[in-house]
C-alpha cells in the first residue's frame, strides 16, 4: 500500500497490516539539536494509542525498510491532545538527523502503538528522576503527570553539555515556579562542572536516596555512574528503573508467521496465556517465538523492537519452561522471577503457561 504525504508529496510504502500511518501535525524546535514531532491520532485509533507517562513509540522512516527507532513520548497522557516525541540529533545518526532535518508537518510516518515499562507505579509516589541529554524526554511526561494528575513530588537531576543543550529548559522553569513545593530541578552542565562522575553523583543524589523510586535515562556511561551511586547509597534494585535504547538492526514492523506441524514444522507445545484479562490456549511451534504465535492468532500482545533489547514484550512464566534466543535487557534477578521476552521466547517443555497481566 502507498500513502502520499499531504505537503511534501513523498510516498510512504507501508507493509500491509503493520503499524499505523500517522500524520505529522507539527515540528517544534526545542534546541539547536532537538525537535519535537507532534502526531495526529484519528479517533478510530485513540484507544490503540492510549499510553502511560514514560512510554515510547517505535517509528519507521518512509521507504527505509530497516530504519526503525524507538523515541520516548514527551507528551503527557490525558493532558495533551496530541502525541509527541522529542528527537535529539546524534552524530552520524542517519535516522535522528533525518527526523531533525527532513520531517515536516503533513508527512506520514509508520508508527507502532505505545509501549515500554519505564512507568511510575503510582502518580502519588515521590520520585527521583536522573536524566542526561535527550533522556529528559520521558521524564517530562512523568513530571507533568505526577504534578498535574497526582499528588507526588519530583526531584529532577538533569545533565547536559552546556546551557544551550538543555531541552525543555523553559517548560521546566515554568513547572518549578508553578509547583515550588513539589518539583526541584538541578542542572549539571559539563561545560561548568565537568563530566558527572560516580562520586559526584553519589553526593548529589544522596539526600534523595529514600524516595519511592529512582528513574534513570540518558547516555550509557551517565546511567552506569548514576546507578552505581544509587546502589552505593543503599537504594534497592527494585526501586531503580532504567530506560535503555539500542539501534534496531531489523524491522519490527514485519511479523513472522510461525510454521505449524501441518506446514512441515516440528510438533509444538501447548501454551496458556493470560493477556488483558482473558485466557487463551494455543499451539506453540517449537521454532516459533511466542510473540509471533500470539500476533498470528490475532492477539494484541505488546512488543516494540523484536530484538530482545527493550523489554516491552516481557511476560512471566507461571508453568513449564522456555528458552530465549537473545536477551539484552533482563537481568539475573528478572530471570529468577520468571520474566522472559515474548519476542525471543521458545518453548522448552510440552506445556507452558505465561501471563502478561502481572
Q: Where in the chain is the domain with CATH 2.40.30.10?
A: 2-115
Q: Where in the chain is the domain with CATH 3.40.50.80?
A: 127-243
Orientation of helix 220-232 relative to helix 198-205, angle to 10°: 50
Q: Which residues contact 265 (CB under 8 A, 6 or more apart)?
A: 258, 259, 285, 286, 287, 288
Percent of the chain beyond pLDDT 90?
Answer: 66
- Tell me the per-residue pLDDT of 103-151, one tens digit each, with 9 for 90 and over: 999 999 989 889 888 999 999 999 999 999 999 999 999 999 999 999 9
Q: What is the pTM of this model?
A: 0.77
CATH among 3.40.50.80, 3.90.950.10, 2.60.120.330, 3.20.20.140 for 127-243: 3.40.50.80
CATH of domain 2-115: 2.40.30.10
Dist CA 199 CA 85 (whole Å): 33
Q: Is the CATH number of domain 262-355 3.40.50.1820? A: no
pLDDT score of 248: 58
pLDDT less than 70: residues of the chain? 1-18, 62-67, 245-267
Q: Report CA torsion sign: 333, 335, 337, 339.
A: positive
pLDDT score of 14: 37
- Tell me the per-residue pLDDT of 139-188, one tens digit each, with 9 for 90 and over: 999 999 999 999 999 999 999 999 999 999 999 999 999 999 999 999 99
Dist CA 85 CA 57 (whole Å): 8
Q: Are 87 and 24 in contact (CB under 8 A)?
A: no
Which residue in the block uniquely carries the three cell numbers 535487557? Answer: 329
Amino acid at each position: 500500500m502507498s500513502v502520499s504525504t499531504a505537503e511534501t508529496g513523498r510516498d510512504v510504502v507501508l507493509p500491509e497490516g503493520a503499524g499505523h500511518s500517522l500524520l505529522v501535525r507539527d515540528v517544534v524546535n526545542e534546541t539547536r539539536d532537538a525537535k519535537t514531532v507532534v502526531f495526529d491520532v484519528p479517533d478510530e485509533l485513540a484507544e490503540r494509542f492510549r499510553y502511560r507517562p514514560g512510554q515510547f513509540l517505535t517509528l519507521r522512516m518512509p521507504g527505509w525498510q530497516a530504519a526503525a527507532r524507538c523515541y520516548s513520548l514527551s507528551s503527557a497522557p490525558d493532558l495533551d491532545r496530541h502525541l509527541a516525541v522529542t528527537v535529539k540529533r546524534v552524530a552520524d545518526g542517519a535516522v535522528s538527523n533525518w527526523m531533525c532535518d527532513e520531517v515536516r508537518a503533513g508527512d506520514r510516518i509508520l508508527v507502532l502503538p505505545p509501549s515500554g515499562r519505564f512507568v511510575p507505579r503510582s502518580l502519588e509516589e515521590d520520585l527521583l528522576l536522573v536524566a542526561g541529554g535527550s533522556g529528559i524526554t520521558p521524564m517530562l511526561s512523568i513530571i507533568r503527570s505526577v504534578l498535574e494528575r497526582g499528588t507526588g513530588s519530583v526531584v529532577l537531576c538533569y545533565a547536559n553539555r552546556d546551557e544551550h543543550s538543555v531541552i525543555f529548559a523553559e517548560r521546566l522553569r515554568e513547572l518549578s515556579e508553578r509547583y515550588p513545593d513539589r518539583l526541584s530541578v538541578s542542572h549539571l552542565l559539563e561545560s561548568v562542572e565537568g563530566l558527572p562522575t560516580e562520586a559526584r553523583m553519589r553526593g548529589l543524589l544522596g539526600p534523595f536516596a529514600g524516595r519511592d523510586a529512582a528513574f534513570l535515562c540518558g547516555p550509557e556511561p551517565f546511567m552506569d555512574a548514576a546507578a552505581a551511586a544509587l546502589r552505593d547509597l543503599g537504594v534497592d534494585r527494585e526501586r531503580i528503573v532504567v530506560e535503555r535504547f539500542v539501534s534496531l538492526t531489523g524491522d519490527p514492523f514485519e511479523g513472522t508467521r510461525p510454521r505449524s506441524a501441518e506446514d512441515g514444522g516440528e510438533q509444538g507445545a501447548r501454551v496458556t496465556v493470560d493477556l488483558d484479562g482473558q485466557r487463551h490456549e494455543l499451539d506453540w511451534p517449537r521454532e516459533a517465538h511466542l510473540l509471533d504465535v500470539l500476533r498470528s492468532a490475532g492477539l494484541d500482545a505488546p512488543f516494540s523492537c523484536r530484538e530482545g533489547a527493550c523489554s516491552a514484550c516481557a511476560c512471566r512464566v507461571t508453568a513449564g519452561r522456555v528458552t530465549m534466543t537473545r536477551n539484552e535487557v533482563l537481568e539475573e534477578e528478572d530471570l529468577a522471577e520468571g520474566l522472559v521476552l515474548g519476542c525471543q521466547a521458545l518453548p522448552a517443555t510440552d506445556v507452558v503457561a505465561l501471563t502478561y497481566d502481572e
